[in-house]
Structure 1
Amino acid sequence: RKLVIGVDRLDYSKGIPERIKGFKKLIRRYPEHEAKVVMLQIAPVSRAGVDAYQHLRREVDELSGHVNATFGTFDWTPVRFLTQSVPRHVLAGFHRRADIALVTPLRDGMNLVAKEYVAAQDENDPGILILSTLAGAAPELKAALQVNPYDPDQIAEALHLALTMSKDVRKKRWRFLNVEVQRNTASRWAAEFLAALRK
């Protein structure tokens, strides 16, 4: 089965409900993907005592449950929603295994999850990054499939495109992304930031 992964804090800015709605539209619109793809959303709970975050967790639980109740079978659970933290080495393994990463924040700074996913890929069989146009990394990671994170239809279409993309095209996109990730390191950013301060 193909694996779609999302890794975020459980935060309203991350676009997790919209992401699950997009996955649901994918299965409804393209039934050829039924039982052939699983979405794993890892979202450690943050600010558990705040009402808005409790509401978000309920919403994501309900959306996941609805997708699973609608499409799931005895041997296929379409959406898996985990709220516990995952060790970094395990997360790196998930990134390596995932065929698609959904990084679709409604608004974000320089999203490092997108870069971690790119860095973890097998150059001979890389996955596809689907990235929000509103993520800080979007101008840099132009070879990602970029979507409006508020639009589940766009997310569904990007998922379908990623699931049906040839290996040659995936490799070409990954090479462009990897060049950016390797070039724009934290050390380079710090050096440029300090140089700008000295001006």
Structure 2
Amino acid sequence: MLEIGLTGGIGSGKTRVADMFAARGAAIIDTDLLAHEITAPGGQAIPALVEAFGPQCLRADGAMDRDAMRALVFADPAAKARLEGITHPLIRELTTSRAAEIARAGEHPYLIYVVPLLVESGAWISRVGRVLVVDCSEDTQIARVMSRNGFSREQVLAIMAKQATRAQRLAVAHDVIDNDGPVEALTAQVDRLDQSYRALSAAGITQA
């Protein structure tokens, strides 16, 4: 089965595009959702998180306090490395097992991994057969995140500064979806790529 890595900067519209591919029959594994799963109450990462950061890293319901941890790792690279050392192996394990289940079921024409930090991680580029970048201008990113999350412009710029640049993402892309315009403009682009991915997968072509 053809496996595609879908990525893009914050506010680019990755989730919307992934949902559109899912509606056309693609299998989707979203690593952000897996991260939420393992840090939910009773999640696989919770015991190690408490051991590493103390009980204050949890909310009252037992889930990881994402806002508190985001602030901590943003300011402390060592804390970021500890957090990633706990969560990343669990996410990789879950990703591998879910992909195997999807392949065994044989119900989908191709598989898309949604990986916000695909370019930054490095390993994902060699794992997937194609890289699909959801692209938009930085001004569009900033406006969307300010509207969606209520962040200030400075907060959004600080997040973007920690991510790969637009040029770095485009440099590794096999396919690009332009999401600078209205939602309606996405449909034709997703339809075109859906047909292309189906044809490649059916032909047994799993690498770009």
- TM-score normalised to structure 1 length: 0.38
Structure in which a larger fraction of residues adopt helix: 2
- For the pair shown, which has the larger CA radius of gyration, 1 or 2? 2
